[in-house]
Structure 1
């Protein structure tokens, strides 16, 4: 294979600027890297907050971190993957630090530089624009808003060739986060109560998974009625429109004193406070919503202390992707995890429309169709 592959990439060149489709080139894989022809990439809230520089990833950059595609080349140190494998791309991690060695790759000591630094572990970019100038890449160890992406073998998850590859990209981040928070982090139990604060893609993924886990009181909150209607279809036993009702009071009423488990996915400190206040005795709330760096939140110390409440930060659903993503695919195939009801497909040229629709709440989970199988 040629050392250089010509690609088309959606480039973010300035803070808040629209994505620009550009011709570019990407180098061949080395060491334990794989080159993936991207079929489709989900669009996530994190793509937008990086575009808007809430997280200071250097620009210009190629974003995208929910890619799915087919391996077209492998580096010399790749052991288990091969050309032709279908893969879902997920977050990067080092594989050798203390958290990684203990099965907690989502808390890798190198998580931030491997996913947000804009360069690879060698300090270099792999993509150049049409003028030969570097484009920051390796976003979530992939930068999959492009026709081809480089990934490490460790974060390229092989999936069955029978699965709908164009649908699977969001399992690498957003869907994995909501589902994993319920199963891996909170460990929601049969017969328990669970509240999702926010009914976007992450929140609704948690609703579906709470039903799989056996929770019998599942509450979804939001301000958009269409999302609440979908939540009921996906497993919510109760819904609360926070524009119309006192959320804390209503949750306590429904649960008979407070929720056993909850997940906050909006990134709004006021909503997190509601979630903490509405926990029952020894209840636990997971935090996955990402506000701007440095954002503070408050809670009543004695309420948390005397109630034995827990507040738990969660990254990527505490997932071990190599096992968890295939499990989610199997749940989908069985009809028990219908995350396809969250998505809407967009052509690559319509990527800015996808971003606008996502930010306006029109589309829960955009998936950008980039290439063919």
Structure 2
């Protein structure tokens, strides 16, 4: 079957729309016709060589659409079902058994290798393989093959299915960081570094959790304004002075929680300096280079019991957390649609540029 896809031919190259062939579902796979797919920073850092992946390759890992075919062993979904496609996990390691599939011991191999575990790819061009199964899906395309374990069946009534894909990564990462990883309680205080999709999802989640102070550090004025509209109590421009001092001016005893979404070492340092006693800082931002290191004041960490944790996918269990976020959205408490701007898949390079310029917060691509 022929499909349209946005293909990357070499590290750092522009995306090019091309016609590829896609195979039949394997026994545990489903074929999904993509209604919309979110454009995530992770797609771009892997495109640019953050970690080695094979080329040519189709990225995309925030897909949503309709199941069109299923493999012989699939019983969880059927053709016609509306689904959101999430990340891959093995389902049987110690972390998966703890209902923490984002820390699956096979996560890198299943999500970053550009192929199925058996080494085969779902996509080809003129008989030559094209790397697929990025996060188990490669959904920058009209159709994607993905393990049935990846998909979350949803009731699309009253929802725009095309806009739901970002719940599969960026939005569940920010919301899950606050609601699951950090588990912020009512009356607690939090500082969030970065008001992109992940950071603003964290703002909405902090409001849901009734945090008393929600401080957002963001250089773009338009995004600071949006953060206030979504629940931030205070916003800071990091270009105007010492961020840690500014946070301490608001909360002299420091914050209970910090969420760092930019991957910048200066933001991490400010977050650590702003933590109060027993404060916890969650790291979700991908750093500019994989070899970047974290420097901490060991004495301060011991004295004040500071905690620093890495967070993948907001500790989400997907089958439970994504429906929870949809329910909150229906209640008007998680209005993530305010972040989304629609682009055709063919305009993916323009969408990347617009997102980089800050003209949109979250691009969603429509095949």
TM-score, normalized by the shorter chain, greater than 0.5: yes
The answer as to whether partners of 1:93 and 1:106 remain within 8 angstroms in 2 is yes
User: Is contact 1:27–1:127 with CA below 8 Å preserved after alignment?
Assistant: yes
Gaps of 5+ in 1: none
SS of the residue 1:243 aligns to: helix
Shift, 1:29, TM fit: 0.6
Out of 157, 176, 181, which is 2:152 matched to? 157
The equivalent residue for 1:26 is 22
Contact 1:196/1:206 (CA < 8 Å) preserved in 2? Answer: yes
Q: Quick one: distance in 1 between partners of 2:12 and 2:322?
A: 32
TM-score normalised by L of structure 2 = 0.98
Deviation at 1:361, TM superposition (A): 2.5
Q: What corresponds to 2:127 in structure 1?
A: 132
Shift of residue 348, structure 1, vs aligned partner: 1.4
SS of residue paired to 2:72 = coil
Q: Partner residue of 2:174?
A: 178
Q: Runs of at least 4 residues of structure 1 off by over 3 A? A: none
Q: Which residue of 2 aligns with 1:193?
A: 189
The C-alpha deviation readout for 1:160-189, integer Å capped at 9, x for no partner, is 121320110000000010000001100000
Give the deviation of 1:303 after TM superposition. 1.1
Count of matched residue pairs: 365
Structure 1 residues 288-307: Cα deviation after superposition (integer angstroms, max 9, x where no partner): 00112111121111111101
Match of 1:75 among 65, 71, 74: 71
Pick from 193, 215, 225: which aligns with 2:221?
225
Task: Give the alignment partner of residue 137 of structure 2, picking from 134, 142, 151.
Answer: 142
List gaps (5 residues or longer) in structure 2.
none
Is the deviation greater in 356-365 or in 208-217? Answer: 356-365
- The DSSP-based 3-state class of the residue aligned with 1:321 is coil
User: What RMSD, in angstroms, separates the aligned Cα atoms of the two structures?
Assistant: 0.8
Task: Give the aligned partner of residue 322 of structure 1.
Answer: 319
Query: Which among 89, 95, 101 is matched to residue 99 of structure 1?
Result: 95
- The answer to whether the aligner puts 1:311 opposite 2:308 as a matched pair is yes
Instruction: Report the Cα distance in structure 2 between the residues aligned to 1:361 and 1:191, rounded to whole angstroms.
Output: 32
Give the Cα–Cα distance (whole angstroms) in 1 for the partners of residues 358 and 221 of structure 2. 11
Structure-2 residue corresponding to 1:36:
32
CA distance in 1, matches of 2:345, 2:123: 19
Mapped contact 1:71–1:86 kept (Cα < 8 A) = yes
Match among 233, 244, 251 for residue 248 of structure 1: 244
SS of corresponding position for 1:187:
coil
Q: How far off its partner does 1:54 sit?
A: 1.0
- The answer on whether the counterparts of 1:270 and 1:297 sit within 8 Å (CA) in structure 2 is no
1:198 & 1:303 partners in 2: Cα distance?
Answer: 25
Give how far 1:245 is off.
3.0
